[in-house]
Chains A and B, each alone.
Chain A
Amino acid sequence: MSPDSSMQPTHLEFRDLSVWYGQSKALDEITFSVPRHSVIGIVGPANSGKSTLLKTINRTLEFIDIAKTGGDVLVDGQNVKSIRNVYSLRRRIGMVFPLPVGLPMSVYDNVAYAPRRMGIHDKAQLDELVENCLRDSVLWDEVKDRLDLLGTKLSGGQQQRLTLARALSLEPEILCLDEFSIAIDPVTTMKIEEVLMRLKERMTIVLVTNLTQQARRMADAVAFINASQLIEWGPTEQLFNNPGKELTGRYLNGEFG
């Protein structure tokens, strides 16, 4: 079993985090923290700001010209705003977004992309890394004989897992998954979930999902975001069985969303 998350130091923390896209507010003073080696589930209806939240962690929100942020995000106690080399930050954080993106290069090169950018060119080391990442994302068996296939020519679900494999290739300390199972069949999803539960020993996982049951299965704690606001957060079972707010209970029971 994973270490007791309540005993772990805080790994990721949001303090009064607000995001505006032009005039409209996408996140409104979000505050919560995530202990090391835990899985936090972030649930909420579509367009409530969950994906925006992820983009603030590795500062890819900066690529959206109209986005403005207030408040702080802390990784390992360090404010991400104060990190001068933003690339080193991004290399510590794995990101999987719902839209599957296979890069137009071979499956092998897709997974080896990030390690190579960091200067690893040793063939044996790369081979091992690629295989491990593809095994962890449950793609290995499907592609092991055609690693030279173009990443863009895989099916949607395969590309999704390839995206996951790429994120894992960074050996990230925080892994952010945004609706990772959207294009993947249930059996494979279950397999990936198993792997993720094992990966928890090595990294903290932020799991954005529409599937409340997925959050219940995997997450140690759950944060419920609705209409840009953090309604409630706490240990998973507490939130599901004994929510503090009526809205939370209704959402988790599938009454709206």
Chain B
Amino acid sequence: MSQTPSRSWRAILSTATDKIEKPIELLIKACGLSSIVLVAAIFFFVFWYAAPLLPKIDWFGHDGFFTSTNWHAKEREGATYGVLAMIVGNFAVAAVAMIIAIPLGLAAAVYISEFAGPRAKEWFKVSIEILAAIPSIVWGFIAITMIGPLLIKYAGATMGANLLNGGIVLGLMSVPLIVSLAEDSLRAVPDSFREAAMALGANRWEIVYRVLFPAARSGLMAACMLGVGRAIGETMAVLLATGNKNQIPTSFTDPITTLTATIASEMGDAEAGSPHSQSLFTIGLLLLVITCAINLTANLFIRGNKRKSAA
């Protein structure tokens, strides 16, 4: 069977351009797959350099990893690896941060997404972006040079670097993340929900708390969880702001330490391959597991939310 007579160009050019794209596609695939591998490699390497110590660690005993505050990882003889104070410190400072950041962040998100006019919205968004751009070390710097002296003066703290200071700074740092994620999930609620509620006589506030909050609940929860995740993983600001003292806090003005700050302050002195270094990798592994668990849960929440609003 013969082809219909066609214009000459079609006969000549069927696959001319297809030759260049093979290498490009190969490159794209290579990058895609290798970055997935790389991402998995994080777990592997952090685990690998903690591994030699893992069987030797006493996890729940008298000087246990999870049950004691005795962190003497540098000792050559009789080293103990209790990180309880760091875990408590980490969660305490994250809790203070969330007490500040969640109400403020959600309120700002509600204002920006539901009440603000277009111009105000633009202004607030830009400001929130500036807030988000300030690097961790500058926050730490702000904590010790500005917030610390205020706490000594007005909160009766003996040292500027303490739990409260860390909480305040972390709270301010987490706000932009919470605002933008919460705003996203409020915006993801279809306008038809708002219109339906309005048609039933609901005013703007009723729409927010009767319609939007329930509809965007999982997204809002994810926003808060990611805020917590960020607060727990934060390093430099916490290192400078909390005083780096290995103790369980009894008041807001006690200096504390965290898992992250311990790694940051000790890794520089730890000899490569020594039990000390391995113990810091063990802390890293713990951090990795905690933050990944939090983020994974939050991202599953967000995905669930997206699927619901898409349906």
Contacts and interface: CB of A to CB of B under 8 A. Distances in A.
Interface of A: 9, 36, 76-77, 85, 87-88, 91, 115, 117-120, 125, 171, 173, 202-203
B250 interface: no
A9 B16 CA distance: 30
Interface string B88-108: 000000000000000000000
Contacts of A119: 9, 12-13, 16-17
Given A85-B14, A88-B14, A91-B14, A118 B9 contact: yes
A117 B10 contact: no
A173 B15 contact: no
Nearest to B10: A171
14 contacts: A77-B1, A85-B14, A87-B14, A91-B10, A117-B17, A118-B9, A118-B10, A118-B16, A120-B13, A125-B9, A171-B7, A173-B4, A173-B6, A202-B4
A200 to B, nearest CB: 12
B15 A88 contact: yes
By secondary structure, the A interface counts as: loop
Contacts of B12: 119
Interface of B: 1, 3-4, 6-7, 9-10, 12-18
7 tightest Cβ-Cβ pairs between the two chains A and B: A119-B13, A88-B14, A118-B13, A119-B16, A77-B1, A173-B4, A76-B1
Contacts of B17: 117-119
B9 A85 contact: no
Given A88-B14, A173-B3, 4 more contacts: A85-B15, A88-B15, A91-B10, A171-B6
A115 B13 CA distance: 10
A170 to B, nearest CB: 8
A33 B18 CA distance: 32
Given A9-B1, A77-B1, A87 B15 contact: yes
A9 to B, nearest CB: 6
A36 B15 CA distance: 25
Nearest to B16: A119
B202 to A, nearest CB: 34
A76 B1 CA distance: 7
Most buried by B among A115, A118, A125: A118
Contacts of A120: 9, 13
A76 B9 contact: no
Nearest to A89: B14
A88 B18 CA distance: 10
Contacts of B18: 85, 87
B21 to A, nearest CB: 10
Contacts of A87: 14-15, 18
A80 B10 CA distance: 19
A44 B13 CA distance: 38
Contacts of A115: 9
Contacts of B14: 85, 87-88, 91, 118
A120 B14 CA distance: 11
A245 B3 CA distance: 36
A83 to B, nearest CB: 11
A85 B17 CA distance: 12
A237 B13 CA distance: 41
A176 B1 CA distance: 21
B9 to A, nearest CB: 6
Nearest to A173: B4
Contacts of A88: 14-15
Contacts of A91: 10, 14
Contacts of B1: 9, 76-77
Contacts of A202: 4
B8 to A, nearest CB: 11
A115 B9 CA distance: 9
Nearest to B6: A171
Given A118-B10, A120-B9, A76 B3 contact: yes
A210 B10 CA distance: 33
A112 B76 CA distance: 75
A40 B270 CA distance: 79
Nearest to B14: A88
A87 B9 CA distance: 15
A88 B13 CA distance: 9
